[in-house]
């Protein structure tokens, strides 16, 4: 028995795809995907090759091992998901807010401490959050990042407030969230989504704001 059914299910979960949406990518039916995930059938080799190529995953990995979140996000073997691995000694555990989490949350509060964790080498002292740029998160019209890129944000602290002006950030409180651009006027700091919506940084709500630190985009 291969791992193809388990990996298809995890691919769907990480990428936020329903069985129907996944099936349509490869000219299959929802019933086909259900049967693969329940180990009642396995896809033809031609379909396996299509899946591997589409998601940029080696065929052998797709068939023989249980894929990690890092592999599905194409962080590959450099960034291990296993917290017991020697490979993570110099890496940071980072929570990931992606499309799958947002789709499952609906109108419910997003709990950052319950997000999936992966490991990535970021030398930064403040708390970090990774966010997948996707259509479920509102962003300014001139937002300069490709959809599906992973954006790394550091939580606002007093010592970085002076660096915010004109930098991109992320705001999240309960089920309200958006990407925006910081504007600093004296001691007033606002994160603007557009001309009609902004969030103002206050001492009480500083923990809801994050400043963009880095981005990860897969180059094909």
Nearest to 210 by CA among 145, 144, 163: 163
For 86-216, CATH number? 2.10.109
Does residue 161 have a pLDDT over 70? Answer: yes
**pLDDT range class, residue 19, cuts 50, 70, 90:** very high
Residues 178, 13, 145: CA angle, nearest 5 degrees: 35
Q: Say how far apart CA 168 and CA 27 lie, in whole Å.
A: 39
Q: Say how far apart CA 188 and CA 53 lie, in whole Å.
A: 49
Q: In this predicted model, what pLDDT tens digit does every residue of 165-179 receive, in sequence order?
A: 999 999 999 889 999
- What angle separates helix 4-15 from helix 30-37, to the nearest 10 degrees? 120
Strand partners, 152: 130, 214
Q: In this predicted model, what pLDDT tens digit does every residue of 198-216 receive, in sequence order?
A: 999 999 999 999 999 998 8
Mean pLDDT of the region 5-26: 89
* Residue 132, SS3 per DSSP: strand
Q: Say how far apart CA 185 and CA 177 lie, in whole Å.
A: 23
Contact 99, 15 (CB under 8 A): yes
Mean pLDDT of the region 135-150: 91
User: Residue 153 is inside which H or E element, if any?
Assistant: strand 150-155
**pLDDT range class, residue 90, cuts 50, 70, 90:** low
CATH 2.60.40.10 matches 4-67:
no
| C-alpha gyration radius of the chain | 19
In the chain, domain spans: 4-67, 86-216
Q: In this predicted model, what pLDDT tens digit does every residue of 36-85 receive, in sequence order?
A: 999 999 999 999 999 988 888 889 889 998 888 777 776 544 344 444 44
Residue that the structure tokens 């923990």 belong to: 207
Does residue 88 have a pLDDT over 70? Answer: no
**pLDDT range class, residue 218, cuts 50, 70, 90:** low
Chain-centroid distance, C-alpha 5: 22
Of 143 and 74, more confident: 143
Q: Say how far apart CA 91 and CA 78 lie, in whole Å.
A: 10
């Amino acid at each position: 028995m291969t791992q193809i059914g388990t990996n298809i299910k995890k691919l769907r979960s990480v990428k936020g795809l329903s069985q129907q949406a996944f099936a349509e990518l490869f000219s299959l039916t929802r019933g086909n995907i259900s049967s693969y995930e329940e180990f009642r059938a396995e896809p033809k080799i031609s379909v396996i090759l299509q899946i591997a190529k589409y998601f940029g995953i080696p065929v052998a990995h797709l068939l023989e091992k249980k894929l990690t979140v890092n592999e599905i996000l194409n962080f590959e073997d450099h960034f291990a998901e296993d917290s017991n691995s020697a490979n993570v000694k110099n890496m940071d555990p980072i929570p990931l807010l992606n499309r799958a989490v947002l789709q499952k949350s609906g109108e419910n509060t997003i709990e950052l401490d319950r997000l999936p964790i992966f490991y990535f080498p970021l030398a930064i002292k403040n708390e970090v959050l990774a966010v997948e740029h996707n259509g479920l998160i509102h962003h300014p019209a001139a937002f300069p990042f490709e959809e599906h890129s992973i954006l790394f944000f550091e939580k606002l602290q007093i010592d970085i407030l002076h660096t915010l002006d004109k930098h991109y950030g992320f705001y999240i409180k309960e089920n309200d969230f958006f990407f925006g651009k910081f504007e600093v006027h004296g001691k007033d700091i606002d994160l603007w989504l557009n001309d009609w919506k902004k969030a103002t940084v206050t001492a009480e709500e500083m923990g809801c704001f994050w400043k963009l630190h880095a981005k990860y985009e897969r180059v094909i």
